[in-house]
Structure 1
Amino acid sequence: MIRLKKMKHEEFEDYFEKLVRYYAIENVKSGRWEESSALEKARMEIDALLSEGLETKNHELLSIIETDNNQTIGYLWLHIFPRMEKKGFIYDFVIQKEYRGMGYGKASLGALEDYAIELGVENLSLHVFAHNSVAVALYKKMGYEVTSMNMAKQISNK
């Protein structure tokens, strides 16, 4: 059904730009950022995390390949904490729209878990925006549990 492979340099640039736009949009939707500065903030945060691009130490940038047609259907970004033994963090996970709702998300997370185990990881965590109910449902179905929660209230329009 799917396999994971290391992202190629030619894929990274396009992935990076889409990630910046998506992260900016999600932060605006969640109320964390103003639209006017969201792209700049997103680019700065992601640049800081991936300071060496694909070669950034302790970061695994993976393409999700649909094996029947050998097409890239999504991407995963896994960080392995160097000082926190056996812990990993999923910074990004995306399945292209035309492949959603077909079981690829579940299969991809399962493959990522197997990949992480091979790297010595025993615990994975992630962040998901609360308004992304489809992703929240998938993560719950895959056994992920809420470990902390951010809350906000707009008070300037009382």
Structure 2
Amino acid sequence: MNIRPAKRTDALDLAQLIDIAGEGIPSYLWQQSCEKGQMALEYGCMRAQRESGGFSYRNARVATLNNEVVGMILDYPISNPTEQDLKELHTLPEVVRPFVELEYQAGESYYINALAVYAPRRHLGIGKQLLKTAQKIAVQKGCHKLSVEVFSENQGAVALYKKMGFEVTASTPVLLHPCPPYYDQDVLLMTKPC
């Protein structure tokens, strides 16, 4: 297995994998922004190809086996929210508001926005290696804490993060989950020191 920085040409894999990590919420949001006749995944690919923004190939690394993308991690440093950020929180769509609330509680940290591995390649240690790579980069960037958010019902992901030393530091109820498997419990903020 090899881990490398993502390229613009990885956009399709990045869009598919962030949709897996986000349990369908990304494609739901992309669909809201599509032009007539445009598919949600196509819109997601366009976003992944951007040069800036949270969901940009520049913030991602991919795991490859035999030159085939099998997983990805999307991460970057975040800072404390501004007063304006906090004032605008109530204007965000219900589907993302719990995540943004928790992100604001993470404070200054190296934020793991998404981690996903295609189903046939899970349980091979790929996610663990992607997390280790993120921690190394966080340290290089001078960050002292990693943060990640996960649905409490996603027991596999919660177990992986706990195994890697993350602890639950906050939670908030899911307000709206429009996609199967329709999570309805909590979103967890998990953190660990670098």
| TM value normalised by structure 1 | 0.68
Query: What residue identity is the alignment partner of 1:98?
Result: P
Aligned to 1:16: 15
Query: What residue identity is the alignment partner of 1:76?
Result: I
Show CA shifts across 1:107-157 (max 9, x none). Answer: 221122112222222211011111211110000000001011123698xxx
- Aligned with 2:137 (options 88, 107, 115): 115
TM superposition outliers: structure 1 runs of 4+ over 6 Å: none
- Aligned with 1:78 (options 68, 75, 78): 75
Aligned to 1:31: none
Aligned to 1:32: none
Query: Mind listing any 5+ residue stretches in structure 1 that lack a counterpart?
Result: 28-37
Q: Tell me how far apart the structure 2 counterparts of residues 72 and 39 of structure 1 sit (CA, whole Å).
A: 20
**How many pairs does the alignment contain?**
137
Show CA shifts across 1:42-79 (max 9, x none). Answer: 5569x8xx96844215761111234xx34322011002
Show CA shifts across 1:72-121 (max 9, x none). Answer: 22011002125689621111101111211122221221122112222222
Aligned to 2:63: 64
Aligned to 2:94: none
Query: Mind listing any 5+ residue stretches in structure 2 that lack a counterpart?
Result: 34-42, 82-106, 176-183, 185-194
CA contact (8 A) 1:74 1:96 kept: yes
Q: Supply the RMSD in Å over aligned alpha carbons.
A: 3.4
In the superposition, relative to structure 1, how do residues 53 and 80 fare at CA in structure 2: closer, same or farther (>3 Å)? farther
Q: Tell me how far apart the structure 2 counterparts of residues 52 and 106 of structure 1 sit (CA, whole Å).
A: 23
In the superposition, relative to structure 1, how do residues 21 and 114 fare at CA in structure 2: closer, same or farther (>3 Å)? closer
Query: What residue identity is the alignment partner of 1:7?
Result: A
CA contact (8 A) 2:17 2:72 kept: no
Q: Tell me how far apart the structure 2 counterparts of residues 108 and 12 of structure 1 sit (CA, whole Å).
A: 18
- Aligned with 1:97 (options 87, 106, 119): 119
